[in-house]
Each structure stands twice: as structure tokens, then as C-alpha cells.
Amino acid sequence: MITPAEFLIYAQWAGIATAVFAAIAVLSFLFKWGIRFQMIGVTGFTAVLAFGLFALGLEPFTRTVIPGAVRYSTVYDGGGSQVVIVVPETITETELEATLKQAASNFFSLGRLGQGEPQMTIRARTVLHPEPGVSQPLVLGQIKRSLASRTDDQMEIEIYRDRLAQLPAADVPSDVRQQ
């Protein structure tokens, strides 16, 4: 993954390229070369590129790492207050809780559209295959966090133990499976 520092280096090189293209554009107007108008376009494009790379260098791309969390994939994220992630069907309750906390931190953005809702809800699901050719999505838990504050100490975590008991994982304690 590219770091912000690398984006700043790329922005520097794009800025240098912009200056070179601008110089060529000026020379092409002085000597009435046929490429003079094309050089204006190339100069403008590289200037926009340099500015974009500079802006990407300012935004932190760090992801939160919570010990015990497992890899997840995003199923739905419309940029609003609802997000759905998919986790492996071998997940345990402690891994699910850590994964939900990690996802809540990683999906936080002040630019999310809450559309009147003060909280963002992230649901974790898995897909079971009870028989060949049949897929059954199963929501295992959810976390609700503030849309306004990066550090939310009052996140609400709900883990559905009865649904965790349906998983074919050997790591789920037997007392959870019996509930």
C-alpha cells in the first residue's frame, strides 16, 4: 500500500514535470511550433495530477489493527450510515468482536452521509452452504458507532450467539452451541 510520504514524492515529481511542460509550452508559443496548444493541455493535466497527488499525501491512509481481528471484505458501503462486511465462517466470538471494532475504526470518516442518523451501523455476516448450490447469508453481529467523533468510547456491540452456534467452526465453545 502506498504511504502518504510516497504520494508526496510522486507529487514532487509531477510538479517538476508540470514545470518542464510549462517551459516547453512557452517555447512552443515563442517559436510558433504546431504543438503549442497541445502543450497547454499537457501542462494543465500534469498540474491537476500534481495537485491530486499532493492532496493524497496529506490524507492518512493508516488502518487500525486490533489484536485478534480477522480479515474481512466489504459487501456493502454506500458512504452512508450502513456498512456490511463478510467474515469467514470459522470465526469465533472474540475474533468477531475484535473484527467489528477494527471495521468501526477503519470505516469512520467525517465525510459519511448519516442522513439524519447520528450513528453508523456495521453488520458482520458470513455465508453458509447447507447443501450444494445453496448459499445462506447469516448476520453474526453488529456494531454502532458515532458518525461525529473518531474516538467513540460508547460503541454498542451486539453479538448474536445463537447464530454463531450455527457455524461449523470447531473453535466455538460447546456451551455457546447449546444455547
- Burial class of residue 137 in the structure, from the number of CB atoms within 10 Å of its CB (0-12 exposed, 13-18 middle, 19+ buried): exposed
- Name the DSSP letter for residue 44: H
Report if pTM > 0.75.
no
- pLDDT category, 169, cuts 50, 70, 90? low
Domain that holds residue 159: 73-171
Mean pLDDT over each residue of the chain, to the nearest integer: 87
Q: Are residues 92 and 150 in the same domain?
A: yes
Task: Say whether both 51 and 83 belong to one domain.
Answer: no
For 93-112, what is each residue's pLDDT tens digit?
Answer: 999 999 999 999 888 877 77
178 part of a folded domain? no
Q: Give the helix ranges, DSSP H, for the chain.
A: 4-30, 36-58, 93-106, 161-164, 174-177
Count of all residues that appear for the chain in the document: 179
The tens digit of pLDDT for each residue in 13-42 reads 999 999 999 999 999 999 999 999 999 999
The total of structural domains in the chain comes to 2
Chain-centre distance for alpha carbon 5: 19
Residue 179, domain member (yes or no):
no
**Residue 177, in any domain of the structure:** no
